[in-house]
Amino acid sequence: MIEDNWQDNAASLFERLLPIGTAVILMLLTYAPIYLGVFNNVRADLGLVAVYFWMLNRSDLFDLKSVVFMGLLDGTLSSSAFGLTLFSYLLMYVLMINLRKFLNGRSFVVVWYGFIALSLVVYLLKWMIATVYYGQFLPMTSLMFSYFQCAAIYPLISMLLAWIQNIFLQDDEL
């Protein structure tokens, strides 16, 4: 009986930590020193993709605390302004809170377009804040390259996360 309880608790904890765990892993992957050819110079913000995906599909397991944790962890690793990523993830959180109902249950293409539109808003606002922080305009080409990478990689990452969700989180989906 105790053993069953322990197993249930462990399984429940695993399920609760799975979204934030996968999101953190994706975020850390952007820091991995792997040679990616032309994509090496500017990389996609995989953490943002994860925030969007989990906020849309399992907002019960991926809440504000998860977003803040991710933002702060990225701040400790990044050499850009501490708090800049937190700001961008919070922005995505706010947008998703308000627009989730329009995107939930829609076809993949609509969800993808939703990400393309929302991430553009997040990227541009982050760019504006960074511009104020550094006191100079950051190059738009790098920003747009990173944004397009992010938009292009969304189907792949969302497929991976959807597969994880279907395998591990299907039973108790709300």
* 73 versus 116: smaller Cβ distance to another protein: 73
Does 146 contact another protein by CB under 8 A? yes
The structure tokens listed for 81 are: 């302004």
Closest contact distance (angstroms) between CB of 26 and another protein is 10
Closest contact distance (angstroms) between CB of 3 and another protein is 30
Other Cβ atoms closer than 10 A to 72 = 14
C-alpha 158/C-alpha 66 separation (Å) is 18
* 75 versus 155: smaller Cβ distance to another protein: 75
Q: Mask of contacts with another protein, 41-80, x by CB under 8 A?
A: xxx-x------------------x---x--xxx-xxxxxx
CA angle 163, 10, 72 (to 5 degrees): 70
Q: Which span (1-9, 98-106, 124-132, 162-170) binds another protein, by CB under 8 A?
A: 124-132
149 exposed, middle or buried (CB, 10 Å; 0-12, 13-18, 19+)?
middle
Q: Long-range pairs for 21-26 at CB < 8 Å and ≥24 separation?
A: 22/50, 22/54, 22/161, 22/164, 23/47, 23/50, 23/51, 23/54, 23/62, 23/66, 23/70, 24/69, 24/70, 24/73, 26/50, 26/157
Give the chain's length. 174
Q: Which span (6-14, 50-58, 119-127, 162-170) binds another protein, by CB under 8 A?
A: 119-127
Does 28 contact another protein by CB under 8 A? yes
Does 81 contact another protein by CB under 8 A? yes
**Binding stretches for another protein (CB under 8 A):** 25, 28-35, 37, 40-43, 45, 64, 68, 71-73, 75-84, 86-87, 90, 93-94, 123, 126-127, 129-130, 133-134, 136, 138-139, 141-143, 145-146
